[in-house]
Structure 1
Amino acid sequence: MTEFETLKFAQSGPVTSIVLNRPDAANGMNDAMTRELAVAASLCDTEATKVVTLTGAGRFFCAGGDLKSMAAAPDPGVFVKGIADDLHRAMSTFARMDAVLITAVNGVAAGAGFSLGVSGDLVLAAESASFTMAYTKAGLSPDGGASYVLPRLVGLRRAQDLMITNRVLKASEALAWGLVTEVVPDAELPQWLEALAAKVAAGARGSNSAVKKLLLSTYSAGYEAQLEHEARHIAGNASSADGKEGIAAFLGKRAPEFS
C-alpha cells in the first residue's frame, strides 16, 4: 500500500476512501498534497474500484492553496504552476475514471477546495459547510477546473459573481444553486457518506461509468454524436454480465446482484 504524508488513503472492497489530512493547515494544498492527490487518483483508476469518497480531516474540507508555501517559494509562479498541474492531473483522472467520485464537504471549501469539493459526481455537504472562491481576494485567479465546472453548474452570471466578489455561500445556498447534491447534519455526514458509497457500490460499474462519460461528452458533442455515444454505451452495457443480470433481475422482480 502506498504511504502518503498529506492524505489518508484506504481501500475496502470496491470503495476507496481519500481524506485530505493537513488539519493544522486547514487542509491547504501544498506541493506535497497535490502531488500525492495525483498519485491517489491514479490508484483509484482500476477495475476493482467502483466508488471513491473524498473528504477532509478536522474542521475544514480544504481552504485552497497553501499561501504560506507559495510565499516561501523562490519563484512563486513556477511553484504554483507545479501545484496546479498536479491538482489538474488528479481532477482529470477523477473525472474520467470509471468509479463514481463522492465528495463530502465537511467544512470550509475555499479556492481550489471549492473547485475540488463541487467536482464530485455526487456532492454531500455538512450543514455548517461554506463555499467561497477567494482567489481574487489574494490577487490570484481560479484553478481546479472552476472556470469549466461552475458556469455549467450555476450559469455564467453566478459564476462571475462567485469568482469576482468572492461571495460566501452557506451549504443551503450551495444546494439551492445546484452545487451540491444533499445537505446533511454535521454529525451525520460520515454515516451519509458511508451509506451513499455502499448504495453506489452495489450498482453496476459499467452503467455508472457510461453515465460519467456521457455527461462529460455532452459539453462538446453535437446532438447526433451524443446519440451515437448513447447507443454505443447502452449496447455495450446490454451485452455485459451486469447488463444481462440487471435485465434478468428486473424481469424476475428481484434485486440484481452486480459483479
Structure 2
Amino acid sequence: MAYETISFSTNNGISTLMLNRPQVMNALNSKMREEITQALNSVDEKTRCVVMTGAGAAFCSGQDLTDVAAAEDVEGILRREYEPMLQAVINCRAPVIAAVNGAAAGAGANLALTADVVIAVESAYFAQAFTKIGLIPDAGGTWILPRLVGNARAMGMMLFAEKIPAAQAEEWGMIWQSVPEAGFVEAVQERARQLAGGPTSAYLSVRRAIRESGASDFAKQLDLEAELQGQAGRSADFREGVTAFLEKRAPKFSGK
C-alpha cells in the first residue's frame, strides 16, 4: 500500500514505520493518524517486531496546529482519529519499539510512550507541551505518564511543560534506554532483531499482563498469570525453548 505521510516496510520480520513529514517535525495531521492506524492494523504474522521512528531531526512534534479541522473539533478528532491510532499501537500483533530519534512533544511524546519499549537518542527530549497553548495533555498522556514516573513528576511535566532530556527520561523510568547518537540506529536494530527472533506470543502476553496489572488486585493478577502461562505452556515456542535448553543450543522460536 502506498502512503503519503509515513513509510512502512518489512524486512526479516521487522516492520519499520517512519513518520515522514520532516518539514514540520513529523507533526500529526489527519492523514498521518489514519495512515499510522492502517499500517499498524495491517501487521500480520510475518512481522515479529515493529520499529516506529521519525524522518529527519524529530520523532514527532505533536498535533499539526495548522490543521484547521482539528482546531475546530478537538474532542471529535481525539475520539475519531487519536483513539484508533493509539489502540492500534496497544493492540499491534507484534511488539512495538519507539525509536525516538529527536524531539517528541505533545501527542508525539505520548505516541512514543504508548509503545512497548522506548529507545531514544541522547539528543532527544520529551515534552508535555499542551498547557503552552491552553490545553490539557491527551493522546493517553494522563494515563501513561503517572504510571511510568509517578504523580509528582507527571504533574510537574504537564504543568510546567518543560523539556525532559532523554537521559533524564531514562533515569526516571519513562523510557527503556538513552543511546548516544553514534550507536543509536544499531542499538535499535539489535533490540528489534532480538524481539523478532524471540517468542512473539509470550511477548504479547507479557504486554497484556503488565498493562492489566494496574487494575488488578494480587489474586486477580495471579489468576491472569496462570491463564497466560497455560497458553504459553501449550505453545510451540515453549517446546522449542525447553528442547534447546536441554540440547545446549540457542532456541529457534517461530513466534507460535
Q: TM-score range by the shorter chain?
A: over 0.9
Partner of 1:52: 50
Kindly provide the CA deviation profile for residues 146-167 of structure 1, in whole angstroms up to 9, marking residues without a partner as x: 0110000000111111111102
Unaligned 5+ residue runs, structure 1? none
The correspondence of residues 1-259 of structure 1 with structure 2, limited to 5 A, is: 2-44=1-43, 46-69=44-67, 72-73=68-69, 76-78=71-73, 81-82=76-77, 85-259=80-254
The answer on whether the counterparts of 1:55 and 1:105 sit within 8 Å (CA) in structure 2 is yes
Q: Residues 142, 84 of structure 1: CA spacing in aligned structure 2 closer, same or farther, 3 A cutoff?
A: farther
C-alpha deviation, 1:252, in angstroms: 2.1
Kindly provide the CA deviation profile for residues 57-109 of structure 1, in whole angstroms up to 9, marking residues without a partner as x: 0011111100111xx33x73326632553222122122123311100111111
The answer on whether the counterparts of 1:61 and 1:107 sit within 8 Å (CA) in structure 2 is yes
One-letter code aligned to 1:90? M
- Choose 87-96 or 177-186, whichever is displaced more: 87-96
**How many Å separate the matches in 1 of 2:188 and 2:163?**
24
- Choose 143-152 or 249-258, whichever is displaced more: 249-258
CA RMSD between the two structures: 1.5
**How many Å separate the matches in 1 of 2:160 and 2:149?**
15
C-alpha deviation, 1:49, in angstroms: 2.0
**How many Å separate the matches in 2 of 1:111 and 1:185?**
23
**How many Å separate the matches in 2 of 1:153 and 1:56?**
23
C-alpha deviation, 1:237, in angstroms: 1.1
One-letter code aligned to 1:43? S
Unaligned 5+ residue runs, structure 2? none
C-alpha deviation, 1:241, in angstroms: 0.8
Q: How many residues align?
A: 254
Q: TM-score, normalised by structure 1?
A: 0.93
The answer on whether the counterparts of 1:14 and 1:50 sit within 8 Å (CA) in structure 2 is yes
Structure 1 ranges of 4+ moved more than 3 A: none
Q: TM-score, normalised by structure 2?
A: 0.94
One-letter code aligned to 2:108? G
One-letter code aligned to 1:59? A
**Identical aligned residues as a percent:** 35
- Choose 152-161 or 248-257, whichever is displaced more: 248-257
Q: Helix, strand or coil for the counterpart of 1:66?
A: coil
**How many Å separate the matches in 2 of 1:160 and 1:133?**
10
**How many Å separate the matches in 2 of 1:89 and 1:52?**
17
Q: Helix, strand or coil for the counterpart of 2:73?
A: helix
Q: Residues 83, 57 of structure 1: CA spacing in aligned structure 2 closer, same or farther, 3 A cutoff?
A: farther
One-letter code aligned to 1:102? I
**How many Å separate the matches in 2 of 1:132 and 1:91?**
18
Q: Residues 98, 211 of structure 1: CA spacing in aligned structure 2 closer, same or farther, 3 A cutoff?
A: farther
**How many Å separate the matches in 1 of 2:229 and 2:86?**
26
**How many Å separate the matches in 1 of 2:79 and 2:152?**
25
